[in-house]
């Protein structure tokens, strides 16, 4: 009996052990470390655990997009699945940091395009999940995007400067309300004080003022930095304002109440009530019309004629296209009324965003309207709402021949630099001297306050042009009170020495740059199209030393497109972001190159020394691959049998008169590790515009020859906007690729194969 | 004389036309397609909603619109030139060129070229007038003294200083003077054109402006002393060796009379060429001086326009300088006749 019991016990233990060994343990799959190969799903045997009854998903294979047609062979993964995906659907590989979703038993690796789109369009908070709000969801997507970016390295960050802002200590409050990449001196001075006799501050900019203070982007694609500063100081009372920390917030000084409604058609309405005590600088009242006027005017053909460019200011609004088509006469498809803007009374209005632009993480920016004086843009015309949407009265569209009468008025207003029309911001422009490009501003006595309710203490602001070479002398002479963005070893040393030895007369603050100098790639051309090549370059370079040498010790290196002071970076760190620092190692470079197939010589034999070659099967070789050659023609793609062999030679275009280029010659091109890895880099030094044409591979500035040549470029990038949105910038859709791509990279993971 | 001047003016008009055509051709050879750039910039505002075909169609429409706006919707360079001059209608039938007062549009400043050029031109003329007066006022007397005291220690010292000023690059003197007068002595401001925040008028404005222009003026004067001094000296030396000077001395005339009434007048002929050239040069700015001292002048405008391919500004300024040169040549030729009665235009 006793023996039978023992045998039964042993059998029971054996069964339990067998059940444990055969089951999946109830753990979710977190994906495979390999991204290049497909895996076959294993059917689970009958197991005790109910969770292990599911079979493992197939991992979708990554394939080359060369010689394949978008729409026929593949579409973007986001186009296929993006709309329905939430962050809760995503699993993350804890070792690689790659993100996956599973659909119909197939696991898809999420590429840069998917992640950049989801980051801003898929921020709905899943119920019952670990995400408290949309910010947490965004930060999660952001982390996954940065991790994928860090692996693919579409560009290599080389140095991120430490910026020093120096100021005259007669200006108080700077240490308590410091500047940062999102909050420059023109923004921060509202919190500062001045103990100078005339309660003034002199700030400068190396960019010229041009007098476009009312609308700094008028007629252009990008505003002048100096003009933008003046506009932001003089145009205020915005419904939504950017904050010191680089975010956006409803302005409780202006907005009495607001709510958002998600409409059935997918549009979203912001219902806003403003306070009735808001005033312009001349004491006149600010009402609802003042918030709508600029958006409406710059959505019309009248303003397009005035500016020589269609600003499409109301592009995201419901009914915009029909309104923008209206030219004063009733035509098919045109509508006099802009249905997305409604006015209930003088202090109540609504903004409805088109479903084409929703959902969007930064949708609050659609409501970031500031107050403009109505006659400044409309003259004698007015804004009316009869119940179907706001419209501009007929006088606005009056014509003389083909010319809109109001076009000249709009042009004159855009270039207005005096107090013909009142200002809504903290300051008003008292005078502008076009001769020496300087402006004098005075505090607006009727300004109610910014989003924190702060009104300026400094009464007078002098904004002038400064010369970077002599700005320190100007500072010492008292001709400027704040110098922002001092960078570089000797300049920073000089500034610190001056401040430290000034007995408290001068002081400084410092912060990391939101951006970096970089090696940019045309990551769809030549050897640079392969991830392992870009990684190998990163491994070959001593980036830390490069950064230290270039910045004179005042800077460092980053591993992705982020600013370490941004809120999402902090959140991603808390979530355990995984980034590869690509520590200098020629062995690591060789390893990734060998794994990537750079193991041949030009004849297709095993690589021994010199320049490496990679075999590209004919079916996967594009015309550019076949015709690829070094700048001097010494190395070309060879053909052996049916296969092509591409040389590991990269052509680099560096800009002239640039210390960054100079340092790259030794730090990159002549680096011993580059040759040791079997790589050659050849360079051309030239001007910036031709470099851009080579990067775009188009004659935007008229320099491109028509034959692609270069795949490495050195320039810089910045992330000083509070809106971190790169949607469409990583697209693999050929119809948008040339115009929107910022890295010219097509992540294979972003392809959903139709066949 | 009147007939001569009239004939010269006719020649000048033809020269301007020919040169303007050549310049227009040259600038159109430079790779730059404003219509393409503007159309591309506008198509990028359409972030979604269009297929590749629709985007291409829309881009071509925009491209054609901009080409018609700029008058570049033809490959015929002559027609494009005539449109630019205002002698041939644009696509819409309108004449809108130089002769109709359309001097072009600056894409960098988003304003008409005339408005863009106004302030820098006034600044350049202002500073150049004073620089020229100071330079001539110092260089000519110094040249005369050196010629008269040829071989003396004074002459040698001036020669050395002027050759240094002539040989070394301007930016070096800019840095040196900024270090000396701003950093070390703290006398003058390093950059700018007026006291920040000031709105002076009248005499106060003039004094304040001259205070800020002092350092650039010192630099410009110092750098330009070399050529004029040596030129004047050489002319005077040659004039002083002429027989008529020996005769004048032999007659017992005072040395001052010999130098200024006889020698200098003979030396003046080549000097006049230079002086008139200098005065015509008041319209052109110095890139280095303006960059170093933060002056808003023609040099800075020219270089920034070249860098940003703002060709309307460049071509108009080049035309202007061509016209100035032609006028200057005429003035020099007429001036010769007044200075030297032996030189007269034949009837």
- Mean pLDDT for chain B overall: 84
CATH number of residue A458's parent domain: 3.40.190.10
A617 — phi, psi (to 5°)? -60, 150
Inter-chain residue contact B47 with A438, CB threshold 8 Å: no
Q: Look at residue A582 in the predicted model and tell me its pLDDT.
A: 97
pLDDT by residue (tens digit) across A202-224? Answer: 998 988 898 899 999 998 777 88
How do strand A58-59 and strand A106-109 relate by DSSP bridges? parallel
Inter-chain residue contact A728 with B51, CB threshold 8 Å: no
Burial of A671 (0-12, 13-18, 19+ CB in 10 A): buried
Residue B10 lies in a domain: no
Minimal C-alpha gap between B328 and chain A (Å): 27
| CA closest to A200 among chain B residues | B197
- B292–A contact, CB cutoff 8 A: yes
Convert chain B into a string of H (helix), E (strand) and C (coil). CHHHHHHHHHHHHHHHHHHHHHHHHHHHHCCCCHHHHHHHHHHCCCCCCCCHHHHHHHHHHHHHHHHHHHCCCCCCHHHHHHHHHCCCCCCCCCCCCHHHCCCCEECCCCEEHHHHHHHHHHHHHHHHHHHHHHHHHHHHHHHHHHHHCCCCHHHHHHHHHHHHHHHCCHHHHHHHHHHHHHHHCCCCCCCCCCCCCCCCCHHHHHHHHHHHHHHHHHHHHHHHHHHHHHHHHHHHHHHHCCHHHHHHHHHCCCHHHHHHHHHHHHHHHHHHHHHHHHHHHHHCCCHHHHHHHCCCCHHHHHHHHHHCCCHHHHHHHHHHHHHHHHHHHHHHHHHHHHHCCCCCCCC
Residue B3 lies in a domain: no
Helical (H) or strand (E) element with A274: strand A268-274
- A360–B contact, CB cutoff 8 A: no
- A734–B contact, CB cutoff 8 A: yes
- B122–A contact, CB cutoff 8 A: yes
- A200–B contact, CB cutoff 8 A: yes
Which residue matches tokens 């494009």?
B80
Region of poorest pLDDT, from A69-73, A352-356, B23-27: B23-27
Say yes or no: A48 and A135 in one domain: yes
Last residue in a domain, options B102, B134, B164: B102
Question: What is the average pLDDT across A271-281?
Answer: 97
Q: What's the first-to-final CA gap in chain B, in angstroms?
A: 8
Minimal C-alpha gap between B301 and chain A (Å): 11
Inter-chain residue contact B196 with A438, CB threshold 8 Å: yes
Residue A408 lies in a domain: no
- B49–A contact, CB cutoff 8 A: yes
Minimal C-alpha gap between B13 and chain A (Å): 32
Q: Is the Cα dihedral A594, A598, A601, A604 positive or negative?
A: positive
Question: Collapsing DSSP states into helix, strand and coil, what is residue A649?
Answer: strand
Question: What is the average pLDDT across B168-193?
Answer: 90
Minimal C-alpha gap between B316 and chain A (Å): 20
Q: How far is C-alpha A300 from the chain's CA centre? A: 28
- Given a cut of 70, whether residue A54 has pLDDT beyond it is no
Inter-chain residue contact B193 with A435, CB threshold 8 Å: yes
- Mean pLDDT for chain A overall: 90
Say yes or no: A508 and A532 in one domain: no
Residue A403 lies in a domain: no
- Given a cut of 50, whether residue A41 has pLDDT beyond it is no
Q: Look at residue B327 in the predicted model and tell me its pLDDT.
A: 87
CATH number of residue A264's parent domain: 3.90.76.10
Domain interval for residue A225: 163-235+421-512
Do the Cβ atoms of A65 and A748 come closer than 8 Å? yes
Say yes or no: A504 and A532 in one domain: no
- A214–B contact, CB cutoff 8 A: no
- Is the bond preceding A359 in cis, omega lying within 30 degrees of 0? yes
Say yes or no: B285 and B139 in one domain: yes
What's the domain count of chain A? 3
Q: Look at residue A308 in the predicted model and tell me its pLDDT.
A: 78
Say yes or no: B201 and B130 in one domain: yes
Could you tell me if residue B49 is left (phi over 0), alpha (psi between -120 and 50 degrees) or otherwise beta?
Answer: left
Residue B5 lies in a domain: no
DSSP code of residue A183: B
- B186–A contact, CB cutoff 8 A: yes
Q: Look at residue A247 in the predicted model and tell me its pLDDT.
A: 87
Q: Quick one: what percent of chain B has pLDDT higher than 70?
A: 95
- A221–B contact, CB cutoff 8 A: yes
Say yes or no: B83 and B177 in one domain: no
Chain B hits for A440, CB-CB cut-off 8 Å, are 197, 199
- A741–B contact, CB cutoff 8 A: no
B29 — phi, psi (to 5°)? -75, -25
Say yes or no: B83 and B205 in one domain: no
Do the Cβ atoms of A116 and A730 come closer than 8 Å? yes
What's the domain count of chain B? 2
pLDDT by residue (tens digit) across A594-622? Answer: 999 999 999 999 999 999 999 999 999 99
Chain B hits for A438, CB-CB cut-off 8 Å, are 194, 196
Say yes or no: B311 and B176 in one domain: yes
| CA closest to B107 among chain A residues | A220
- B116–A contact, CB cutoff 8 A: no
Mutate to test the interface with B, among A113, A470, A475 (most CBs of B within 10 A): A470
- Given a cut of 90, whether residue A448 has pLDDT beyond it is yes
Minimal C-alpha gap between A71 and chain B (Å): 11
Question: What is the average pLDDT across A113-123?
Answer: 96
DSSP code of residue A442: E
Say yes or no: A491 and A441 in one domain: yes
- B205–A contact, CB cutoff 8 A: no
Say yes or no: B59 and B132 in one domain: no
Q: Which residue has the higher pLDDT, B102 or A273?
A: A273
Q: Look at residue B1 in the predicted model and tell me its pLDDT.
A: 75
The two tokens of residue A650 are 């990269």
Inter-chain residue contact A467 with B183, CB threshold 8 Å: no
Say yes or no: B218 and B244 in one domain: yes
Q: Look at residue A629 in the predicted model and tell me its pLDDT.
A: 95
Q: How confident is the model at residue A401 (pLDDT cuts 50, 70, 90)?
A: confident
Say yes or no: A247 and A391 in one domain: yes
Q: Look at residue A6 in the predicted model and tell me its pLDDT.
A: 60
| CA closest to A462 among chain B residues | B197
Tell me the residue length of chain A: 755
Q: How many CA atoms lie within 13 A of B269 on its CB side?
A: 13
Do the Cβ atoms of A296 and A383 come closer than 8 Å? yes
Chain A hits for B309, CB-CB cut-off 8 Å, are 689, 701
Residue B345 lies in a domain: no
Inter-chain residue contact B55 with A735, CB threshold 8 Å: yes
Residue A10 lies in a domain: no
Last residue in a domain, options A480, A512, A544: A512
Say yes or no: A87 and A179 in one domain: no
How do strand A155-168 and strand A515-521 relate by DSSP bridges? antiparallel
Q: Look at residue B90 in the predicted model and tell me its pLDDT.
A: 83
The two tokens of residue A87 are 């962050």
Say yes or no: B261 and B162 in one domain: yes
Burial of A688 (0-12, 13-18, 19+ CB in 10 A): middle
- Given a cut of 70, whether residue B347 has pLDDT beyond it is no
Say yes or no: A292 and A217 in one domain: no
The two tokens of residue A117 are 């789109």
Inter-chain residue contact B196 with A473, CB threshold 8 Å: no
The two tokens of residue A435 are 């001769």
Mutate to test the interface with A, among B31, B51, B62 (most CBs of A within 10 A): B31
Say yes or no: B85 and B151 in one domain: no
Q: What's the first-to-final CA gap in chain A, in angstroms?
A: 65
Q: How confident is the model at residue B46 (pLDDT cuts 50, 70, 90)?
A: low
Q: Quick one: what percent of chain A has pLDDT higher than 70?
A: 93
Residue B197 lies in a domain: yes
- Given a cut of 60, whether residue B278 has pLDDT beyond it is yes
CB pairs under 8 A between A and B: 123
- Given a cut of 80, whether residue A40 has pLDDT beyond it is no
A540 — phi, psi (to 5°)? -70, -35
Q: Look at residue A8 in the predicted model and tell me its pLDDT.
A: 60
Q: Which residue has the higher pLDDT, A41 or A463?
A: A463
Residue B6 lies in a domain: no
Question: What ipTM did this prediction achieve?
Answer: 0.77
- A480–B contact, CB cutoff 8 A: yes
Last residue in a domain, options A363, A398, A433: A398
Inter-chain residue contact B293 with A200, CB threshold 8 Å: no
Residue A29 lies in a domain: no
Last residue in a domain, options B102, B124, B157: B102
Residue B18 lies in a domain: no
Tell me which long-range contacts A172-179 makes (C-beta under 8 A, separation of at least 24).
A174/A482, A174/A507, A174/A509, A175/A507, A175/A509, A177/A244, A178/A509, A178/A511, A179/A484, A179/A509, A179/A511
Q: Which residue has the higher pLDDT, A257 or B68?
A: A257
- A412–B contact, CB cutoff 8 A: no
Q: Quick one: what percent of chain B has pLDDT higher than 90?
A: 17
Say yes or no: A679 and A530 in one domain: yes
Domain interval for residue B177: 113-339
- Given a cut of 70, whether residue B344 has pLDDT beyond it is no
- B202–A contact, CB cutoff 8 A: no
Last residue in a domain, options B82, B102, B122: B102
Say yes or no: B93 and B119 in one domain: no
How do strand A74-76 and strand A751-753 relate by DSSP bridges? antiparallel
Q: Look at residue B243 in the predicted model and tell me its pLDDT.
A: 84
Q: What is the DSSP string of A70-117?
A: BTTTEEEHHHHHGGG--GGG-EE-TTT--EEEEETTEEEE--HHHHHH
Q: Look at residue B33 in the predicted model and tell me its pLDDT.
A: 76
Helical (H) or strand (E) element with A322: helix A320-325
Chain B hits for A196, CB-CB cut-off 8 Å, are none
User: 61-100 in B: which are within 8 Å (CB) of A?
Assistant: 92
Say yes or no: B238 and B90 in one domain: no
Say yes or no: A313 and A217 in one domain: no
Q: Look at residue A47 in the predicted model and tell me its pLDDT.
A: 31
Q: Look at residue A32 in the predicted model and tell me its pLDDT.
A: 29
Q: How confident is the model at residue B284 (pLDDT cuts 50, 70, 90)?
A: confident
Question: What is the average pLDDT across B47-68?
Answer: 78
Region of poorest pLDDT, from A321-325, A381-385, B311-315: B311-315
Rounded Cα gap, residues A639 and A736, in angstroms: 33
Q: How confident is the model at residue A461 (pLDDT cuts 50, 70, 90)?
A: very high
- Given a cut of 60, whether residue A556 has pLDDT beyond it is yes
Mutate to test the interface with A, among B47, B108, B110, B183 (most CBs of A within 10 A): B110
CA distances from A319 to A342, A390, B123, B131, B289 (A): 12, 11, 50, 61, 54
Chain A hits for B119, CB-CB cut-off 8 Å, are 434-435
Give the list of residues 6+ apart from residue B194 with CB closer than 8 angstroms, or none.
Answer: A433, A436, A438, B200, B205, B208, B209, B212
Chain B hits for A483, CB-CB cut-off 8 Å, are none
Say yes or no: A174 and A287 in one domain: no
User: 493-552 in A: which are within 8 Å (CB) of B?
Assistant: none
- Given a cut of 60, whether residue A417 has pLDDT beyond it is yes
| CA closest to B186 among chain A residues | A477
- Given a cut of 90, whether residue A273 has pLDDT beyond it is yes
Of B186, B191, B194, Cβ closest to residue A466: B191
CATH number of residue B199's parent domain: 1.10.3720.10
- Given a cut of 70, whether residue A39 has pLDDT beyond it is no
| CA closest to B126 among chain A residues | A435
Of B32, B44, B190, Cβ closest to residue A477: B190
pLDDT by residue (tens digit) across A703-741? Answer: 888 899 999 999 899 888 889 999 999 999 998 898 889
Region of poorest pLDDT, from A330-344, A350-364, B101-115: B101-115
Of B36, B111, B197, Cβ closest to residue A460: B197
Region of poorest pLDDT, from A32-41, B74-83, B141-150, B248-257: A32-41
Rounded to 10 degrees, the C-alpha dihedral A298/A302/A304/A306 comes to -110
- A573–B contact, CB cutoff 8 A: no
CATH number of residue A592's parent domain: 3.10.105.10
Say yes or no: A562 and A711 in one domain: yes
pLDDT by residue (tens digit) across A483-508? Answer: 999 988 889 999 999 999 999 999 99
Question: What is the average pLDDT across B289-309?
Answer: 87
pLDDT by residue (tens digit) across B215-227? Answer: 999 999 888 888 8
Say yes or no: A140 and A174 in one domain: no
Question: What is the average pLDDT across A525-539?
Answer: 97
Residue A638 lies in a domain: no
Say yes or no: B328 and B247 in one domain: yes
Q: Which residue has the higher pLDDT, A29 or A523?
A: A523
Minimal C-alpha gap between B34 and chain A (Å): 8
- Given a cut of 60, whether residue B283 has pLDDT beyond it is yes
Highest mean pLDDT, choosing among A66-75, B226-235, B308-317: A66-75
Rounded Cα gap, residues A429 and A419, in angstroms: 7
Last residue in a domain, options A398, A430, A446: A398
| Best CA proximity match to A714, nearest among A652, A649, A651 | A652
The pTM (predicted TM-score) of the whole model is: 0.82
Q: Look at residue A232 in the predicted model and tell me its pLDDT.
A: 95
Rounded Cα gap, residues A596 and A678, in angstroms: 13
Q: Look at residue A1 in the predicted model and tell me its pLDDT.
A: 46
- B288–A contact, CB cutoff 8 A: no
Minimal C-alpha gap between B201 and chain A (Å): 13
Residue B16 lies in a domain: no
- A695–B contact, CB cutoff 8 A: no
Chain A hits for B109, CB-CB cut-off 8 Å, are 210
């Amino acid at each position: 009996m006793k023996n039978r019991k023992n045998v039964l016990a042993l059998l029971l233990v054996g069964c339990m052990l067998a059940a444990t060994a055969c089951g999946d343990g109830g753990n979710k799959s977190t994906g495979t470390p390999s991204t290049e190969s497909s895996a076959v799903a294993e059917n689970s045997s009958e197991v005790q655990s109910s969770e292990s009854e599911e079979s493992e998903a197939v991992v979708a294979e990554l394939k080359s997009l060369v010689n394949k047609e978008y729409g026929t062979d593949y579409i973007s993964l986001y186009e296929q699945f993006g709309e329905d995906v939430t962050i809760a659907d995503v699993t993350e590989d804890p070792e690689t940091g790659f993100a996956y979703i599973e659909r119909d038993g197939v696991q898809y690796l999420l590429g840069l395009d998917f992640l950049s789109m989801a980051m801003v369009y898929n921020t709905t908070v899943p119920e019952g999940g670990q995400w408290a709000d949309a910010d947490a969801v965004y930060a999660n997507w952001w982390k996954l995007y940065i991790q994928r970016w860090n692996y693919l390295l579409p560009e290599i960050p080389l140095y991120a400067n430490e910026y020093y802002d120096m100021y005259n200590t007669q200006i108080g409050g700077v240490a308590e309300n410091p500047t940062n990449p999102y909050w420059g001196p023109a923004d921060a001075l509202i919190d500062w004080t001045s103990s100078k006799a005339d309660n003034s501050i002199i700030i400068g900019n190396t960019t010229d003022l041009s007098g476009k203070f009312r609308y700094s982007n008028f007629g252009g694609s990008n505003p002048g930095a100096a003009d933008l500063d003046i506009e932001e100081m003089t145009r205020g009372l915005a419904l939504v304002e950017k904050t010191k920390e680089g975010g956006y917030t409803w302005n409780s000084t202006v907005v009495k109440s607001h709510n958002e409604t998600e409409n059935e058609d997918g549009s979203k309405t912001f219902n806003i009530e403003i306070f009735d005590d808001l005033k312009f600088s001349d004491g006149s009242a600010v009402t609802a019309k003042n918030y709508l006027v600029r958006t409406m005017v710059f959505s019309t053909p009248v303003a397009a004629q005035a500016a020589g460019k269609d600003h499409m200011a109301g592009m995201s609004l419901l009914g915009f296209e029909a309104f923008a088509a209206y030219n004063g006469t009733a035509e098919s498809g045109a509508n006099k009324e802009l249905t997305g803007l409604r006015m209930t009374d003088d202090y109540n209005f609504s903004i409805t965003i088109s479903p084409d632009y929703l959902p969007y993480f930064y949708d609050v920016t659609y409501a970031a309207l500031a107050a403009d004086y109505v006659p400044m843009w409309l003259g004698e015309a007015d804004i009316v709402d009869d119940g179907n949407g706001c419209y501009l009265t007929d006088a606005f569209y009056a014509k003389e021949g083909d010319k809109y009468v109001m076009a000249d008025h709009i042009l004159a207003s855009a270039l207005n630099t005096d107090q013909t029309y009142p200002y809504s911001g903290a300051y008003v422009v008292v005078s502008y001297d076009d001769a020496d490009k300087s402006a004098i501003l005075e505090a607006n006595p009727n300004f109610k306050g910014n989003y924190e309710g702060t009104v300026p203490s400094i009464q007078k602001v002098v904004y002038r042009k400064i010369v970077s070479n002599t700005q320190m002398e100007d500072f010492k002479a008292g001709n400027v009170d704040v110098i922002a963005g001092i960078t570089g070893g000797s300049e920073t040393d000089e500034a610190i020495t001056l401040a430290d030895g000034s007995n408290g007369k001068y002081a400084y603050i410092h912060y990391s740059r939101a951006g970096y100098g970089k090696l940019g790639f045309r990551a769809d051309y030549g050897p640079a199209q392969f991830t392992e090549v870009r990684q190998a370059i990163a491994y070959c370079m001593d980036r830390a030393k490069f950064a230290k040498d270039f910045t004179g010790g005042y800077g460092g290196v980053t591993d992705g497109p982020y600013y370490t002071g941004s809120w999402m970076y902090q959140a991603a760190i808390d979530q355990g972001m995984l980034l590869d620092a690509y520590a200098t190692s020629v062995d690591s470079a060789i390893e990734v190159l060998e794994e990537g197939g750079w193991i041949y010589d030009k004849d297709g034999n095993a690589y021994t020394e010199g320049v490496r070659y990679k075999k590209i099967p004919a079916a996967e070789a594009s015309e550019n691959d076949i015709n690829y050659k070094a700048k001097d023609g010494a190395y070309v793609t060879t053909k052996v049998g049916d296969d092509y062999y591409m040389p590991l030679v990269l052509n680099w275009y560096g800009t002239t008169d640039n210390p960054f280029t100079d340092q790259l010659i030794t730090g990159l091109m002549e680096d011993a590790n580059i040759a040791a890895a079997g790589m050659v880099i050849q360079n051309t030094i030239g001007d910036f515009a031709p470099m851009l044409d080579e990067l775009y591979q188009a004659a935007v500035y008229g320099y491109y020859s028509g034959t692609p040549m270069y795949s490495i470029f050195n320039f810089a990038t910045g992330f000083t906007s509070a809106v971190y949105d790169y949607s469409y910038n990583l697209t693999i859709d050929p119809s948008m690729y040339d115009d929107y791509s910022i890295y010219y990279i097509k992540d294979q993971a972003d392809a959903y194969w139709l066949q | 004389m009147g007939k001569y001047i009239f004939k010269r003016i006719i020649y000048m008009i033809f020269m301007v036309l020919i040169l303007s055509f050549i310049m227009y051709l040259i600038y159109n050879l430079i790779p730059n397609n404003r219509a393409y750039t503007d159309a591309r910039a506008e198509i990028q505002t359409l972030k979604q909603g269009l297929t590749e075909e629709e985007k291409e169609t829309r881009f071509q429409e925009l491209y054609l619109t901009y080409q018609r706006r700029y008058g570049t919707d033809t490959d015929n360079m002559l027609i494009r030139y005539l449109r630019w001059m205002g002698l041939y209608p644009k696509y819409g039938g309108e004449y809108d060129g130089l002769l109709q007062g359309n001097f072009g549009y600056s894409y960098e400043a988003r304003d008409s070229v005339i408005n863009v050029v106004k302030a820098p031109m006034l600044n350049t003329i202002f500073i150049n007038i004073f620089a020229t007066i100071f330079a001539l006022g110092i260089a000519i007397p110094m040249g005369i003294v050196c010629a008269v005291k040829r071989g003396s220690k004074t002459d040698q010292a001036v020669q050395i200083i002027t050759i240094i000023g002539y040989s070394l690059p301007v930016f070096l003197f800019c840095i040196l003077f900024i270090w000396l007068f701003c950093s070390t002595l703290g006398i003058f401001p390093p950059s700018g054109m007026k006291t920040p925040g000031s709105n002076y008028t009248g005499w106060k404005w003039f004094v304040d402006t001259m205070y800020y222009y002092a350092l650039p003026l010192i630099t410009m004067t110092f750098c330009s002393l070399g050529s004029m001094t040596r030129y004047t000296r050489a002319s005077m030396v040659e004039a002083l060796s002429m027989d008529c000077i020996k005769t004048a001395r032999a007659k017992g005339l005072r040395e001052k009379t010999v130098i200024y009434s006889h020698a200098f007048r003979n030396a003046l002929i080549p000097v006049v060429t230079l002086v008139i050239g200098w005065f015509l040069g008041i319209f052109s700015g110095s890139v280095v001086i303006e960059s170093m001292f933060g002056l808003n002048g023609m040099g800075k405008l020219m270089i920034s326009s070249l860098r940003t391919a703002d060709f309307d500004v460049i071509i108009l300024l080049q035309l202007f300088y061509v016209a100035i040169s032609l006028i200057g040549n005429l003035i020099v030729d007429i001036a010769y006749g007044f200075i030297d009665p032996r030189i007269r235009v034949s009837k």
